[in-house]
A and B are shown apart, each in its own frame.
Chain A
Amino acid sequence: EAGVAQSPRYKIIEKRQSVAFWCNPISGHATLYWYQQILGQGPKLLIQFQNNGVVDDSQLPKDRFSAERLKGVDSTLKIQPAKLEDSAVYLCASSSTGLAWNEQFFGPGTRLTVL
């Protein structure tokens, strides 16, 4: 079974530039999550999708971050404009349902460096 795919794996940009990350979840998984993991910290949830609807985006900085999951499969996360403090690994995860005790499968992440 293929895992969660993310691209790109690495991205370096200058502050105030824009960047987009892509995620392809495990086939058939209804729930998709985007996390931000700052170096030395645990992952922090940014947004959760159930199919193509948003369940929780309470920690998403909506003035600069946006995310979409068209057709309830792939998802993109965008930052515009980027700030230095956005440097982090962005992890995508998926699970079969939105219940907490359904295992979340994580992708390898995209490491973003903002200069």
Chain B
Amino acid sequence: GENVEQHPSTLSVQEGDSAVIKCTYSDSASNYFPWYKQELGKGPQLIIDIRSNVGEKKDQRIAVTLNKTAKHFSLHITETQPEDSAVYFCAASINNYGQNFVFGPGTRLSVLP
């Protein structure tokens, strides 16, 4: 089955700096890669996703890149703000009915003012 690894497990950056979180996956059939943000005491919330037919996707300060050959994908957050502090999870899935996400172990991001 699918296995997703995520690095680093914790990340501290100064406000205004960039943050990068990297994930690798094992199943070459996976074709959908969402990123979720989880704030303390809340459920995860989708922040961006990418499908395997594109290599990069941007949404304001957030971008995701995908390298299918190497089976890794990354989350980039620019101009970080204190409200970006949270735990971020990557996930991988095959987009089909009944196929489900396998989540990575998470990265705790702290943005220091």
Interface residues of A (CB under 8 A from B): 4, 33, 40-45, 48, 50, 55-56, 91, 93, 97-101, 103-104, 106-109
Contact call A43/B99, Cβ cutoff below 8 A: no
Contact call A100/B100, Cβ cutoff below 8 A: yes
Count of interface residues, chain B, beta-carbon cutoff 8 Å: 27
Contact call B98/A109, Cβ cutoff below 8 A: no
Contact call B43/A99, Cβ cutoff below 8 A: no
Residues of A within 8 A of B104 (CB): 42
Which residue among A50, A98, A100, A106 has the maximum number of chain B CB atoms within 10 Å of its CB? A100
Instruction: Name the residue of chain A whose CB is nearest to the CB of B106.
Output: A42
User: What is the number of contacts between chain A and chain B, taking CB atoms within 8 Å?
Assistant: 63
Alpha-carbon gap, A4 to B44, bound state (A): 12
Interface string of B32-44 (1 = CB under 8 A from A): 1010000001111
A42 to chain B, nearest CB (A): 3
B32 to chain A, nearest CB (A): 5
Contact call B44/A43, Cβ cutoff below 8 A: yes
A-B contact pairs, 14 of them (CB 8 A): A41-B106, A42-B103, A42-B104, A43-B103, A48-B98, A91-B43, A91-B44, A97-B97, A99-B95, A100-B95, A101-B49, A104-B46, A104-B101, A109-B42
Residues of B within 8 A of A43 (CB): 44, 89, 103
Residues of A within 8 A of B91 (CB): 42
Task: Give the dominant DSSP class at A's interface.
Answer: loop
Question: Does B68 sit within 8 A of A, measured CB to CB?
Answer: no
Residues of A within 8 A of B32 (CB): 100-101
Residues of A within 8 A of B19 (CB): none
Question: Does B96 sit within 8 A of A, measured CB to CB?
Answer: yes
Question: Does B14 sit within 8 A of A, measured CB to CB?
Answer: no
Checking B41, B42, B43, B103 against A44 with a beta-carbon cut-off of 8 angstroms, the contacting residue is B103
Closest 3 CB pairs of A and B: A106-B43, A42-B103, A100-B93
Asked whether A109 and B43 contact (CB < 8 A) given A42-B89, A42-B91, A100-B95, the answer is yes
Which residue among A44, A104, A108 has the maximum number of chain B CB atoms within 10 Å of its CB? A104
Instruction: Name the residue of chain A whose CB is nearest to the CB of B108.
Output: A40
